Structure 1
Amino acid sequence: MGTQDHKLAWIQALRGIAAFMVVLVHNRGALMGTNAGQLIADHLFLPLSMGVDLFFIISGFLMVLTTRDFDASRAYAWKFTAKRIARIWPLFAIASLIAVAVDHHGIHGFLHASVLFPYLEGLLSIPHDPAASPIYFNMALGVAWTLCFECYFYLVFAACMLFGRHRYGVMAGWFALTLIAIPLLRGSYSLGVASQPLVTWSRYANLAINPIVWEFIFGMLAGWLYCSRFTIKHVATVYVTVILLLATLLIGWHRIGMVNFFGPRGWGAPLAILFFGIVLLAKRGDIKVPAWTVWMGEISYSLYLMHVYVFELVQRVATRIPMEPDVYRVVLFVTRPIIAVACAWLMFRYIEAPASAWMRKRLVGIRLPVFTRRWSFQRHSVPTSRDAG
């Protein structure tokens, strides 16, 4: 592991933790057969959905950190875009094929255009039906709603690179327009991700105005902080500040209208506070993480996309085995996450990593004429750091 990778082991560990939190959320269904199990599922495991908020914050952070060597060229913008496509799309496409087979009983799902069309929309990161849900979008591959937001953010980030050294100014203007001005003009400004009035003329526009995008911005701000010279000398100051801010937020949670749901008005706010604290500690080199969490971070994307379908297949097998209902629930609750992690590792090693590397090599190797020159006002490049991941 290189020096930079070692320094960022903590961010990889957070990825792994976030993915496993989502796994546990979806595994809580095994507990819902009893009143006690329902109580545990609702109050202990459901809040772990905040793993999604953590994913979004991490994404914003990494986009700033991994583009520190931006040279203000269009070629760099294309390279960034190609790497993002190669990182997300190959496994997403394979997961969609598996989802069609699992959801529609093998080959039968591939024979009907009406079945395939929602999955194809998902591959283009187009919300399938925003009217059905203000945030989940009724996606055919359920967890793909988060990828819609991820890809929207990457698209904005890449497009703003075309403005060279003015990229962050343009980005600030775009987010001010979509997250503040337009909601205010519509007369419905709110930080609640589930309370945005539907944009009927464009499904994709519903992504742009959703307040959950603020979490990417939180991550970007943390990225700038991490790259800056600002430090806090005393570790105790970081801990005390984070604890006081979190305590103040939690004590006044309901009074200020916070909710137990996604977004900056929900789990995103306390996670942002924690993340900024972690960033300040990481700048000092005070973050040490277990190796298994870093490994979990490496397989996190495979785990996130595939665990629901692993759960479904394990459940189908388990239903064929005679056992008491309570035993059945325990078997599902214990075995599904373990098998999901094992399958994610296999998927990462033999499918995700090779497929992503193959597509990345070919896309980055494309030399489009429109991306071969810099703007005339770009004269200096920033010091080289690490390529965008």
Structure 2
Amino acid sequence: MFVDVVEKSRSGVREEALPARPQPPSPAPRQGWLDALRGMAALVVVFEHSLDALFPEVRAGAGQWFNFGHYGVLVFFLVSGYVVPVSLERRGSVGGFWINRVFRLYPLWFVAAAAGTVFGVQGVYTALPDQLADNPGISALAHLTMLQDLLQVVSVVNVFWTLSYEMVFYLLVTAMFAAGARRAGTTGMLAFAAAALTVGGLLPAGALSRGAGTAQVVVVTAVVLLAAAASLACRGRLRACGTAAAAVLALVLLGVNSRIGAWQSLAILATMFAGTVLHRLDRGQLRWKKSGWALVCVPVASIGAAWAFGPGWGMPDDQALAFTRGWSTAVAAAWATFLAARLLRHRPMPRALVWLGLISYSVYLLHPLAVQVLRRLTTDPGRFSLPERLGMAVLLLAVVLACSALTYRAVERPAQSLGRRLSRRAGSRTLTTETLTTGPAGVRPPGRPPLRRRPRPWPSPAAVRPGRSTRPPG
């Protein structure tokens, strides 16, 4: 809304439009079906990591045909792709978006990383990996970027590897937003899917770190990300260059320095961009006839790449076959689950699953620590009966949920509230600066010559109604 200020003078009328203080967009309401998906995916990942400690027979049987862990994280990736880019566009502020992301991810991440380090030093189940113990500075720097899985640095908590791909997605989305390509999700989805199926098996895993050295790659990555973060305080071309440099670095690491192999990394990014395309289709921003068919390419390419290239690291033939089958069925099941939940998105979801979705990040990061304690206590699951192991599974879940609820209330929720307040301030400053710099449509911004109108000719005495003065004002 704008306030028109009209100044009258002898020569005519001068009009200026002064912008009212812009308001940042209000937070979008939570979507229960997405929270339910997060909660379900978190439970599946917990189940996957408890198999060796409690149910090795499930690993030996169903695990040969279905990978529960891949299924859970692929659902997470689809959800992230569905909501993250739209969150950035709704805010309209790159700085506000990153403030929100930092306060969303890092506070609890620090808690989990510190606990994982203590567990490793104390040898609760396994000792701290040699790479982390021998090079603590480089390892810590790699973890702070959240790209450690693409820097050939072992994660201090095993589930941290997925955050590296989340971070790559954030960097790419930010660069696209800064460059004005805000709705290029279909192109990105098809590009990553095609690359996974064609050249994904030809790109060498970890080649950059082997050639240049892990420490050097970590330092260069940290410097580029710091420069990109500094560019967010700038505007125009400088910001676009900073975000583009970070995106190019992320693509290079994704292609030639991934721990899990290039084809799987590319398939993960294609899956996340597919989530974005689904959201745009639901909002009517894309047409099903033009973009809907392209969605089929992502699971087809992901499964085809697995059968064409196999795992990205050395495995015996029987394990490689189990990996390929498990990945393929997990991809199909993750897509089926997401699409089924999407069809039910207008219906109320079970409150338990929605609540699990709220604390799913805590569940995801903290459960490996509880599993370590469990594996220390149950070194030989065969000596426990099935009812005893089921009881331990219930106890494990209760401990994980209790700790997650506590960290959500004590760490996540306060940090998210602070991040929202700071991001709103950043968004308000961005909107105010843009309005004063460019001005809205039809309004001349300050600093330009005011718009002057020609004086309106006064009517002749014959055209004036009786009783009305013909004398000009002044």
TM-score > 0.5 by shorter chain: yes
CA distance in 2, matches of 1:128, 1:10: 30
Offset of 1:151 from its aligned partner?
0.9
Offset of 1:79 from its aligned partner?
0.9
Offset of 1:12 from its aligned partner?
0.6
Q: Which residue of 2 aligns with 1:100?
A: 117
Q: Which of 207, 225, 229 matches 2:254?
A: 207
Please say if residues 100 and 116 of structure 1, whose CA atoms lie closer than 8 Å, have aligned partners that are also in contact: no
Unaligned runs of 5+ residues in structure 2 are 1-25, 210-216, 218-249, 256-261, 289-295, 311-323, 442-474
Offset of 1:298 from its aligned partner?
0.3
**Does 2:106 match 1:89?**
yes
| 1:168 alignment partner, SS class | coil
Q: Which residue of 2 aligns with 1:5?
A: 29
Looking at CA atoms only, which structure, 1 or 2, has the larger radius of gyration? 2
Please say if residues 53 and 378 of structure 2, whose CA atoms lie closer than 8 Å, have aligned partners that are also in contact: no
Offset of 1:343 from its aligned partner?
1.1
Give the percent of matched residue pairs that are identical in Structure 1 and Structure 2: 23
Q: Which residue of 1 aligns with 2:373?
A: 313
CA distance in 1, matches of 2:42, 2:389: 22
Q: Which residue of 1 aligns with 2:444?
A: none
Of the structure 1 ranges 369-378 and 206-215, higher mean CA displacement relative to structure 2 is found in: 369-378
| 1:125 alignment partner, SS class | coil
Q: Which of 23, 36, 39 matches 2:46?
A: 23
| Counterparts of residues 1-389 of structure 1 (less than 5 Å) | 5=29, 8-32=31-55, 36-40=57-61, 42=63, 46-67=67-88, 69=90, 71=92, 76-105=93-122, 114-115=135-136, 117-128=138-149, 138-164=154-180, 166-169=181-184, 180=194, 189-190=199-200, 196-198=203-205, 200-201=207-208, 204=250, 205-207=252-254, 210-211=265-266, 212-228=268-284, 259-262=324-327, 267-282=330-345, 285=346, 287-316=347-376, 324-326=383-385, 329-362=389-422, 365=425, 373-374=433-434
CA distance in 2, matches of 1:156, 1:254: 23
| 2:349 alignment partner, SS class | coil
Of the structure 1 ranges 222-231 and 90-99, higher mean CA displacement relative to structure 2 is found in: 222-231
Counterpart of 2:96, as a letter, is K
CA distance in 2, matches of 1:3, 1:154: 19
Please say if residues 53 and 374 of structure 2, whose CA atoms lie closer than 8 Å, have aligned partners that are also in contact: no
C-alpha spacing 1:218/1:268, structure 2 compared with 1 (3 Å): farther
Please say if residues 79 and 364 of structure 1, whose CA atoms lie closer than 8 Å, have aligned partners that are also in contact: yes
Q: Deviations over 1:44-97 (max 9, x none)?
A: 8743531100000000001244345354xxxx1111121111111111112111
| 2:205 alignment partner, SS class | coil
CA distance in 2, matches of 1:372, 1:162: 18
CA distance in 2, matches of 1:215, 1:255: 14
| 2:325 alignment partner, SS class | coil
Calculate the TM-score normalised by the size of structure 2.
0.58
CA distance in 1, matches of 2:28, 2:425: 25
Please say if residues 16 and 297 of structure 1, whose CA atoms lie closer than 8 Å, have aligned partners that are also in contact: yes
Q: Which residue of 2 aligns with 1:242?
A: none
CA distance in 1, matches of 2:193, 2:64: 31
RMSD, matched Cα: 4.4
| 2:183 alignment partner, SS class | helix
Instruction: Name the count of aligned residue pairs.
Output: 335
Please say if residues 149 and 155 of structure 2, whose CA atoms lie closer than 8 Å, have aligned partners that are also in contact: yes
Of the structure 1 ranges 120-129 and 325-334, higher mean CA displacement relative to structure 2 is found in: 325-334
CA distance in 1, matches of 2:77, 2:189: 16
Counterpart of 2:60, as a letter, is L
C-alpha spacing 1:31/1:114, structure 2 compared with 1 (3 Å): same
Please say if residues 56 and 216 of structure 1, whose CA atoms lie closer than 8 Å, have aligned partners that are also in contact: yes
CA distance in 2, matches of 1:175, 1:3: 27
Calculate the TM-score normalised by the size of structure 1.
0.69
Unaligned runs of 5+ residues in structure 1 are 132-136, 233-244, 381-389
CA distance in 2, matches of 1:178, 1:38: 31
Offset of 1:365 from its aligned partner?
3.9
Please say if residues 63 and 326 of structure 2, whose CA atoms lie closer than 8 Å, have aligned partners that are also in contact: no
Please say if residues 47 and 260 of structure 1, whose CA atoms lie closer than 8 Å, have aligned partners that are also in contact: no
CA distance in 2, matches of 1:309, 1:23: 11
CA distance in 2, matches of 1:309, 1:255: 30
Offset of 1:370 from its aligned partner?
8.9
Q: Which residue of 2 aligns with 1:134?
A: none
CA distance in 2, matches of 1:254, 1:126: 23
C-alpha spacing 1:324/1:59, structure 2 compared with 1 (3 Å): same
